[in-house]
């Protein structure tokens, strides 16, 4: 029952995707990587509601989770679940912590791997600067059209054991906003995130990246 040692590995994949959310919001700004990189420097903050649908063979209907997502440049992230499990992931200045609401209030998960967190932080800084191409963890493909999509494919065998690919669907009618992120793990097993009420460069208090409640 070595759950804790796994969580570091899992968290790595999870956090990579989490970081993706904030960066993906920028992608509708442009139709090519150069534009993305050039214009993404203007992003200072992102906030959004999200719903998460988990689909897999054991579930006849999707398991729905809901929460809020916040990003503050250069490297602060709050990824908060409000239902069905209350959980908060905080990343700030190289320090990453995760808390889950239990019987004794919010308790910090103690199984995270510091090494994994370091990798994630590196990803934050890269993606925040719009550096998707040349990324050591994912290969990126941009598909234009009325509903532009970006497809990320893991380069590493370890990561591809968890994630087959990630498909980001951009909003066709609101520039700078994504509609969906679909994380495909394997056949029939995927997670679909839908973002609503996306605010770009709104005022976000720095304390929400330090304090759970």
Partner 1 sequence: MKAFALHKRCFLILMSAFFIISCSRLPVIKPVDTAMAPDTMRRCHLPFLDIPYRFIHAIEVALPGSRTGTVVGVTAFDPATKTIQSVIMTIEGFVLFDASYEKEVRVNRAVPPFNAEHFAGYMMDDVRLIFLTPDGRLSDTGVFEDGSTVCRYYVKQNWVIDVIVHKDNTWEIERYSDSHELLRKVMTFSVRDRIPGMVELNAFGFREYTLRLNLINAEPVSPEALRLRPDDAPEDDE
**Residues making contact with partner 1 (CB under 8 A):** 1-7, 9-11, 13-14, 17-18, 52, 54, 56-60, 63, 65, 81, 84-85, 87, 100, 102-103, 107-111, 149, 151, 161-163, 167, 182-191
Yes or no: say if 68 and 197 are a contact pair by the CB < 8 Å rule.
Answer: no
Nearer to partner 1, 7 or 78 (CB): 7
**Choice between 40 and 191, CB closer to partner 1:** 191
Smallest gap from residue 164 Cβ to partner 1 (A): 8
**For partner 1, the closer CB: 100 or 131:** 100
Task: Tell me the β-bridge partners of 95.
Answer: 92
Query: How far apart are the C-alpha atoms of 18 and 77, rounded to whole Å?
Result: 8
H or E element, residue 39: helix 33-39
Cα gap 63→53, rounded to integer Å: 6
Nearer to partner 1, 184 or 200 (CB): 184
CB of 150 vs partner 1, minimal distance in Å: 11
Whole-number Å distance between alpha carbons of 49 and 7: 25
């Amino acid at each position: 029952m070595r759950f804790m040692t796994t969580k570091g590995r899992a968290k790595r994949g999870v956090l990579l995707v989490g970081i993706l959310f904030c960066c993906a919001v920028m992608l509708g700004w442009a139709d090519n990587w150069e534009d993305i990189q050039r214009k993404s420097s203007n992003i200072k903050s992102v906030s959004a509601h999200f719903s998460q649908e988990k689909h897999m063979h054991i579930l006849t209907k999707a398991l729905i989770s809901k929460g809020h997502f916040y990003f503050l440049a250069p490297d602060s992230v709050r990824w908060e679940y409000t239902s069905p499990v209350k959980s908060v992931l905080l990343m700030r200045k190289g320090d990453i912590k995760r808390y889950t609401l239990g019987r004794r209030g919010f308790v910090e998960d103690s199984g995270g791997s510091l090494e994994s967190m370091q990798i994630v932080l590196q990803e934050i800084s890269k993606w925040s600067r719009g550096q998707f191409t040349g990324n050591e963890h994912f290969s990126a493909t941009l598909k234009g059209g009325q509903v532009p999509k970006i497809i990320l494919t893991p380069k590493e065998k370890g990561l591809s054991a968890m994630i087959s690919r990630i498909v980001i669907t951009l909003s066709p009618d609101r520039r700078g906003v994504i509609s969906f992120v679909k994380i495909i793990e394997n056949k029939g097993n995927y997670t679909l995130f839908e973002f609503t009420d996306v605010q770009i460069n709104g005022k976000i208090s720095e304390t929400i990246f330090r304090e759970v409640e």
